A and B are shown apart, each in its own frame.
Chain A
Amino acid sequence: MNKILILLTLAICASIIFFFPPIKGLGDLAKIIFFHVPTAWVAVIAFFASAFFAAKFLRTFNFSFDKLSARAARLGFIFVLLSTISGAIFSKLTWGAYWNWDPRQTTIFVLILIYGAYLTLRAAVSDEKVRAKVSAVYSLLSVLTVPFLVFIIPRMYFSLHPSPVLNSAGKIEMDSIVLIVLIAAVVDATLIFVQLMRREIS
């Protein structure tokens, strides 16, 4: 499985770097979007995974679920940082500024804050049984904010961010080859996340 993933990742990277023409007017660096989208996707997936395992832990009091929840949060934190940085670079290239509190930037920043708070809480509680309970409760509490933020934030801040790949109109405004590579990259990143989660258990 690991070998297949490495090959897939290399193939995707190679096709992006060598075979894609530079994006019009943005230069080669703009290809970072192929890194940004998958990492953002995994950051969100990891957030819900962490909350899911937290709920599982509270139902069963099985401490391996607590470990999974913490692992998902740690991986998610790394992915959200990578995604934010790559997004800021892309933002500089397309909009001329690294940061402008675009709704999506705001949302991902809140995600950084939640991950940071969760990991700080874990670090601050020394008793492992208490830590498991307390962090699971916080994880579930923080996941409640997500639907509200998704509803509120776009009303309060003007957005320049391109619509998600699957936008509300149901139209896909991309070259089919670009889309295929992007989907492959998202699948690849998700599999890397799953693989890292599984590796950590054993």
Chain B
Amino acid sequence: MKLSNSRFEQIAAIVRKDFVIGLRRRATFAAMMMFALTAVASLSLSTGGIFVEAKFLAALLWVVIFFAASAGISGTFDDEAQAGTLPTLKLYADAQAILFGKMIYVLLSLVALTIFILPIFLILFDVAVENFFLLLATILLGLIGIAAAGTLTAALTTSATVKGGLFPILLFPITLPIFLPAISLTELSFTGGAFDSSSLVVMVAFDLILVTAASILYDYL
């Protein structure tokens, strides 16, 4: 694997292209955002007025992020496969550039999703965040993991003939090592308790492993 300047240019070109198309079509973005909004609203409505524990809130936040992300990124390769552009892209672009271009695009759209849904979540559930920096760090590390595993999973499900629900089924077990520490760290960021930095280390390590594994395994697809 050689990482040259032109590799970065290729990745940048793919990310830019995906953004232009994403903004012009809007449907995927809109569906992901509305999914998250609907989920948060329904959860908030059904627990209205009840005191909800911080641990439970943290879990809710990640459940919302996971399923909204699933709705948004399962089509990462499917959309191109349906439009018939995937073979062209694969012919003209380097495989690793495609993978990392898509991964970065997925990560950026997940960041956009979080910027949209996190304030709504915090307001509707009236959460007082004690450690904001910890919350942001946790969410970013979590999103990197979801983006890496999600991009490879999206490449796997593209060839499936039966797609309904397949993506979250495949994604959940392999991102579980991200969710468990993310939920406990998010809870601590809400309550302001002392946190165990080893959880952060685990998240960083697992992110790195997922990115590396995605890069190696994508070449075999």
Give the B-binding residues of A (Cβ under 8 A). Answer: 58, 110, 113-114, 116-117, 120-121, 123-127, 130-131, 133-134, 136-138, 140-142, 144-145, 148-149, 151-153, 156
Q: Which of A140, A145, A148 contacts B217 (CB 8 A)?
A: A140
Q: Which residue of B lies closest to A111 (CB)?
A: B173
Q: Which residue of B lies closest to A122 (CB)?
A: B160
B213 within 8 A of A: yes
Decide: B174 and A121 in contact? CB cutoff 8 A. no
Q: Which of A113, A144, A152, A153 contacts B209 (CB 8 A)?
A: A144
Decide: B180 and A144 in contact? CB cutoff 8 A. no
- Interface residue ranges of B145-202 to A (CB < 8 Å): 149, 152-153, 156-157, 159-163, 166, 169-170, 172-174, 176-177, 180-181, 184, 199, 202
B92 within 8 A of A: no
Decide: B156 and A138 in contact? CB cutoff 8 A. yes
Decide: A137 and B152 in contact? CB cutoff 8 A. yes
Decide: B152 and A149 in contact? CB cutoff 8 A. no
Give the A-binding residues of B (Cβ under 8 A). Answer: 149, 152-153, 156-157, 159-163, 166, 169-170, 172-174, 176-177, 180-181, 184, 199, 202, 205-206, 209-210, 213-214, 217, 220-221
Q: Which residue of A lies closest to B162 (CB)?
A: A124
24 A-B contact pairs sorted by A residue (CB < 8 Å)? A114-B173, A116-B169, A117-B170, A117-B173, A120-B170, A124-B157, A124-B160, A124-B163, A126-B161, A134-B159, A137-B221, A138-B170, A140-B213, A141-B174, A141-B217, A144-B174, A144-B209, A144-B210, A145-B177, A149-B176, A152-B177, A152-B180, A153-B180, A156-B180
Residues on A with C-beta less than 8 A from B156 are: 121, 134, 137-138
Residues on B with C-beta less than 8 A from A113 are: 172-173
Decide: A148 and B166 in contact? CB cutoff 8 A. no
Q: With A113-B173, A149-B177 given, is the CB distance from A124 to B202 under 8 Å?
A: no
Q: Which residue of A lies closest to B210 (CB)?
A: A144
Residues on A with C-beta less than 8 A from B184 are: 156
Most B CB atoms within 10 A — which of A120, A145, A153? A145
Query: How many angstroms between the C-alpha atoms of A167 and B161 in the bound complex?
Result: 46
Q: Which of B166, B174, B181, B206 contacts A120 (CB 8 A)?
A: B166
Query: How many angstroms between the C-alpha atoms of A127 and B160 in the bound complex?
Result: 9
Residues on A with C-beta less than 8 A from B170 are: 117, 120-121, 138
Q: With A137-B156, A140-B213, A152-B181 given, is the CB distance from A110 to B176 under 8 Å?
A: yes
CB of A171 to closest CB in B, whole Å: 28
Q: Which of A125, A133, A151 contacts B202 (CB 8 A)?
A: A151
Query: How many angstroms between the C-alpha atoms of A27 and B102 in the bound complex?
Result: 58
Query: How many angstroms between the C-alpha atoms of A110 and B179 in the bound complex?
Result: 13
Q: Other than A137-B156, A149-B177, A156-B180, give 16 A-B pairs with Cβ distance below 8 A.
A: A113-B172, A117-B169, A120-B166, A125-B159, A125-B160, A130-B159, A136-B220, A137-B152, A140-B217, A141-B213, A144-B210, A144-B213, A145-B176, A148-B177, A152-B181, A156-B184
